[in-house]
Amino acid sequence: MIESLSWRWFRVILPICSICCLYMCSFYIFICSTNSLIYSTVCLRYANESFCSEIDRNKSLRASQTSIQKESSQWSLYGTLSFAIIACFISPIYGSLSDTKNRKLPIMLTILNAIITGLIITIGSIFRGTKTSLLIYIFANIINGFGGGTLLLLSSCFGYVTNICTEKEQHVQAIAIIEASLNLGIIMGYVLCTFIFELHAKIWHILLVHVILLIIALFIGFIFLKSQTITDSSSINLWTKIKRPFLNIRDLIIDLKYNNLLLSFCILFLSFFFYELFRMGSSSVYYLYLHRMSFNDTQYAAYFTCEQIGTCLALIFLALLRRRWLINEIYLGIIGLCLSLVGLMLFAFASNNKAMIFGAIPSMMFGTYFPVCLRAVIAHLVPERDKGKAFSFIALIQNLDVILGTVACTQIYRASINVFVGLVFIFGVATRLIGLILILIQIFYISRSPQLSEKASIDTIQSPFLDIPLDSDDELIRP
C-alpha cells in the first residue's frame, strides 16, 4: 500500500502539480507583461519615455492619461476577444480528443501553443511604441485561442489525474493538491512580476521568463506524463468527436429534466454566470484603474500578490468552517458573495485613496467562496455519470463570461472615465446582486417544492442544496 501511494505521488501527482504551478505562474507573468506592453506602447505612440513615466503621477496630465487609457482598453478588448472566441470553439474539440485519444495530448498541445504565443509576443515587444507591436499582440492572441488557454489546461489536468487514480478518495486528495499548486503558481507569478518590475527590466525580459517556465512545463509533461491511450477510439469519426461535447450537454439537460432538477440547475448556472461575468472580464480594467490611481507596475503586481495570498488563507479557513461548524455550502457561498460586494464598493469610491484599495483585500479574498461552494452544490446535484458534462458546461459558461464580461467592462470603463471612473465596479456589484437574488430564489424554490427532495430520496429539510454531505473537507477547495 505504501509503495502504491508513493508511486502515485511521484508518477502522477507531482508532475501534474509541477505543470499546473509552472503554467499558472507563467500565465500571470503573461497577464502583467502584456498589460504593461499595451499601456506603454499606446503612450509611446504619442509621447516619449519621460512623459510616459510621469503620466500616472502628474495630475496635470490627466487629460492625456484619459485618452491613453481609453485606447489601451480598446486594444486589450481586441486581444481578449480574438483569443476567447476561438477558444470557445476549440475547447470542446480538445475535450473530445482527451476522451477518444489520450489524456496527455491536450495538455501538451495547450502548453506548446502557449510557448508559440509567448515567443510571438516577445518578438512583438521589441517593437514597443509602434502599432506593429499591438498588431503582433492581436495575432498572438489568435494563435493562443487555438490552444484553448488556461481553462482547457486545468480541465485536462483534472481529467488526467482522475483517470489514473481509480479510487474516489484518491480523486479528492489529488484535486486538493492540484488546487494548492495552482494557488502557489499564481502567487509565484505575481511575486516574480513584482521583483522583475522593481528591477526595471524590459518587457521582453519578462516575457522570456514566461516562455522559459512553459518550456520547463512542456519538458516535465513530455518525460513524466503517461500516454493513456483510449481503446476503440479509431471507430469514432471526426464529426462525432466534434459533436460529442454538445451532445453531452443535451444528454445532461434530458437527465435533469427527467429528475425534475432542470429548473434548479438553470438557476444555479445563471447565478454562476452573473457572478463570474465581472471577474472574468475585468483583468485589464483593474490594471488601468490602478494606474489611474498612481500605481506603477511593481505596485500593481504587489497588490495582487497580497490579494492572492489572502485568497489562499480564505480557502483554508473555508475548509475549517465546514469541518468545525458544519455550515452548509450555499450559506457560505452567500457570505462570500456579500463580502465581495464590499470590496467592489471600496474600489468604486476609492478615488485617490490608496488605503481604500488595500482595505478591499479582506473582503475580496472571501469572494472565492461563492464559485467554490456553488461548484460543490452542482456536483452533488447532478448524477455521478453527468458530473463531467456539468463541469464542461461550467467551462463553457466561463468562456462566454470572458467574451461578454470583457466587452461590458471595457466599454463601461471607456464611457465613464471622465464622469465616474468607478462605475465599472458598480456594474460588478449589480451583476453579483443578480446572482445573489437567483440563489435566494433557489432556496425559496426548494422550501416550496417538497417533491424535489422526494425525487432525490432526501427529506425536505435535508435539501441537497442546503446541507450537502462531503466525503472530505478538501472538496470545498475545488474551484
pLDDT digits (tens, 9 = 90+) for 323-364: 677 677 788 888 889 988 998 998 888 866 777 788 788 777
Average pLDDT, integer, range 85-95: 77
Q: So what's the pLDDT on residue 470?
A: 42
Residue 149, pLDDT score: 83
Please provide the average confidence, as pLDDT, over all residues in the chain: 78
Q: Is residue 235 part of a domain?
A: no
As a whole number, mean pLDDT of residues 252-266 equals 77
Domain-ending residue, one of 166, 193, 226: 226
pLDDT, tens only, 208-258: 999 999 999 999 988 888 765 554 444 555 566 566 666 767 777 777 777
- Same domain for 216 and 260, yes or no, is no
Residue 270 cell numbers, joined: 445563471
pLDDT of residue 170: 57
Mean pLDDT of 82-99: 76
Q: Do 221 and 249 belong together in one domain?
A: no
Shared-domain flag, residues 187 and 269: no
Q: How far apart are CA 367 and CA 375, in angstroms?
A: 14
Integer Cα distance of 167 and 387 in angstroms: 16
| CA-wise closest residue to 165 among 95, 250, 103, 87 | 103
CA gap 329, 464 in Å, rounded? 10
The amino acid sitting at 105 is L
Q: Which domain holds residue 318?
A: 243-479
Does residue 91 register a pLDDT over 60?
Answer: yes
Range with lowest mean pLDDT among 45-49, 290-294, 308-312, 469-473: 469-473
Grid cell, residue 240, equals: 462525432
383/425 same-domain check: yes
Lowest mean pLDDT among 311-315, 382-386, 442-446: 382-386
Section 408-428 average pLDDT: 91
Q: CB–CB of 37/204 below 8 Å?
A: no
Scan for cell 496630465, then name that residue: 61
Q: Are residues 325 and 248 in the same domain?
A: yes
- The pLDDT value recorded for residue 251 is 73
238 in a structural domain: no
CA distances from 19 to 23, 176, 177, 183, 189 (A): 6, 15, 13, 13, 14
* Residue 249 forms part of a structural domain: yes
Please report the pLDDT score of residue 140 as a whole number: 94
Interatomic CA distance for residues 38 and 297, integer angstroms: 12
* pLDDT tens digits along 156-204: 777 777 666 655 555 556 666 777 788 889 999 999 998 888 887 888 8
| CA-wise closest residue to 117 among 222, 215, 216 | 215
Amino acid found at 477: I
Split into its structural domains, the chain has a count of 2
Alpha-carbon distance 468 to 456, whole Å? 13
CB 180 within 8 A of CB 319: no
> What is the domain-level CATH number for residue 179?
1.20.1250.20
pLDDT at residue 384, as a whole number: 61
Give a yes or no: residue 289 inside a domain: yes
Please name every residue paired with 102 in a beta bridge, in sequence order, or none if there are none.
229
Nearest-angstrom CA–CA distance, 150 and 182: 11
Shared domain for 109 and 30, answered yes or no, is yes
121-141 burial, b for 16+ CB within 10 Å, e for fewer?
Answer: bbebbeebbeeebbebbebbb
Residue 88 class from Cβ within 10 Å (0-12 exposed, 13-18 middle, 19+ buried)?
A: middle
Q: Does residue 85 belong to any structural domain of this protein?
A: yes
442: in domain: yes
**Would you tell me how many other CB atoms lie within 10 Å of the CB of residue 222?**
12
Judged against a pLDDT cut of 70, whether residue 144 lies above it is answered with yes
Could you say which of 199, 226, 253 is where a domain stops? 226
Q: What is the reported pLDDT for 228?
A: 59
Kindly state whether residue 56 falls inside one of the protein's structural domains.
no
Statement to judge: residues 247 and 115 lie in one domain: no
What was the pLDDT predicted at 454? 42
The answer to whether residue 118 scores a pLDDT higher than 90 is yes
> Which pLDDT score, from 0 to 100, does residue 467 have?
41
What is the pLDDT confidence band of residue 281, given thresholds at 50, 70 and 90? Answer: confident
Alpha-carbon distance of 32 to 283, in angstroms, equals 10
**Does the pLDDT of residue 417 top 50, yes or no?**
yes
Residue 341 shares a structural domain with residue 463 = yes
Look at residues 226, 259, 292 and tell me which one is the last residue of a structural domain: 226
Q: What is the pLDDT of residue 53?
A: 77
pLDDT average, residue stretch 151-159: 77
- Residues 25, 129 share a domain: yes
320 — pLDDT class (breaks 50, 70, 90): confident
User: 320: burial class by Cβ within 10 Å (0-12, 13-18, 19+)?
Assistant: exposed
* pLDDT at site 2: 43
Distance CA 227, CA 103 (A): 7
Average pLDDT of the residues in 298-322: 81
Q: Please tell me the predicted confidence (pLDDT) of residue 33.
A: 92
State what percent of residues in the chain have pLDDT above 70.
76
Do 112 and 252 lie in a common domain?
no
Residue 57 lies in a domain: no
Q: Are 290 and 352 part of one and the same domain?
A: yes
pLDDT digits (tens, 9 = 90+) for 378-395: 767 776 666 666 766 777
Distance CA 128, CA 124 (A): 7
Give, for 221, the enclosing helix (H) or strand (E): helix 203-224
Confidence of residue 291 (pLDDT cuts 50, 70, 90): confident
- Distance between CA atoms of residues 372 and 387, nearest Å: 15
Quick one: three-class SS letters along 265-334?
A: HHHHHHHHHHHHHHHHHCHHHHHHHHHHCCCCHHHHHHHHHHHHHHHHHHHHHHHHHHHHHCCCHHHHHH
- On whether both 263 and 175 belong to a single domain, the answer is no
Helical (H) or strand (E) element with 404? helix 387-416
